Amino acid sequence: MKVKKYVAPTMPEVMKRVRAELGDDAIILHSKKITTSGFLGLFKKKNIEVIAAVDLEVKQIKKNNPVKTAVKNSTPKLQRNVPTRTAAADDQKLYQEVASLKSMLQTMSAPGHLATAHYPVLLQNWLLHLEEQELAQKHQQAISEKLLEKWRNKNEEVSSRELKEWTREIVEKQLSSFQHGGAIKKRFVNILGPTGVGKTTTLAKMAAHEVLEKNKKVAFITTDTYRIAAIEQLKVYANLLNVPLEVVYKREDFQKAVDKFHDYDLIFIDTAGRNYRDPQYMDELKKIIDFEQEMENYLALSLSMKEKDLRAIIHNFSSISIDKFVFTKIDETIAYGSMLNLIFDYKIGVAYVTNGQDVPDDMIEASPKVLAEYLLKVEEQ
């Protein structure tokens, strides 16, 4: 048994090295993303590390007898006259290889690790792409089990294109369990989220869609009195769309604005972007906005942020019933797995994804097909 570690910038390059040295009989024992240090800690690079192995005796037998050694069944048979290892050096080398394999198998069986050594190599490569997309292990596992089942049920060779289409079908079916899209069912639309995620721009895009595409009568309310620039920005959008805007500072102001807009189809509420770690922010928000109104709450989350931070934001807003997510700045990342992780884990659908600053163009209505396609973009990277 020959075991070796390979490191390269991309998975295709790693597999090219594995096949060149170990051949087509090689199996992948373990893989992970690593970061190599650069000069003085700078210019760090991301690479893929793969542990591959090949049984040299089986490889040699296949080379000498390619036809006779075809696998007839899965039951191993004892062979006679197999040379035994007698040299102490060979025994020591074999012992080290077995110990190394045992350690690897223990690592792969550990909680949170997706063991794929028994998967076909092409399928292993595809699942590594999903890992690079930062899709959580448990969701990778759910997809991989269905892919392996489809693979086994097909007697013919499977192509990369088929794997991609199978994955699309599986992910779309999983996502269809949740409500997606921008259909608004209530009069008040509340855009929530921390500072810097693009709430005001998102609100303007959604409002423009309702005004221009559906001819709805729309009004704006803003509670963002902490930043003068935010009010001015919303005023610009209000003027462009020819919709009224009310700035509110307290609950009485909010109620007056509600009464003033009683005959409007939709009222969009822009909230202040404060530090989401500060619980006082939520208390202040509830003192101003009457959440008992006929209201839909959209939580804007920037995909340029770490998933750990996104989960902290969701937790902070957990006292408010969130109807749908709006994922912003999707054009500022190349990994979309966190988007699906949040959907699956919190069981909340997505209204829109935004991919730029232009109003109203840079916004895409979410659907299982759209969301799955982002995950599948990995092949095009």
The burial class, CB within 10 Å (0-12 / 13-18 / 19+), for 124 is buried
Show the 3-state SS of 311-354: HHHHHHCCCCCCCEEEEECHHHCCCCHHHHHHHHHHCCEEEEEE
CA proximity to 167, closest of 381, 380, 377, 331:
377
Specify the pLDDT at position 75: 43
Any idea how long the chain is? 381
Alpha-carbon torsion angle 303, 233, 315, 326, nearest 10: -50
Report how far apart, in Å, the C-alpha atoms of 197 and of each of 11, 111, 207, 339, 352 are: 33, 34, 17, 15, 14
Task: Note the pLDDT of residue 179.
Answer: 95
Give the whole-angstrom CA distance, residue 129 versus residue 126. 5
Residue-level pLDDT at 66: 56
Structural domain boundaries of the chain? 1-104, 188-380
Query: Is 316:276 a contact under the CB 8 Å cutoff?
Result: yes
Average pLDDT of 232-252?
92
pTM reported for the whole predicted model: 0.70
CATH topology of domain 188-380: Rossmann fold (3.40.50)
pLDDT in tens, 19-68: 888 877 777 766 777 776 655 455 567 788 878 777 666 556 556 655 44
Rounded to whole angstroms, the Cα distance separating 340 from 327 reads 11
The mean pLDDT of 169-196, rounded to a whole number, is 93
Strand partners, 32: 49
- DSSP β-bridge partners for residue 297: 190
pLDDT digits (tens, 9 = 90+) for 305-352: 999 999 999 998 888 899 999 999 999 989 999 999 999 999 999 999
What's the pLDDT at 127?
87
Share of the chain above pLDDT 70, in %: 76
Average pLDDT, the chain: 81
pLDDT digit string (tens) for 209-221?
999 999 999 999 9
pLDDT digits (tens, 9 = 90+) for 275-308: 666 667 777 888 888 888 889 999 999 999 999 9
Q: Are 335 and 132 in contact (CB under 8 A)?
A: yes
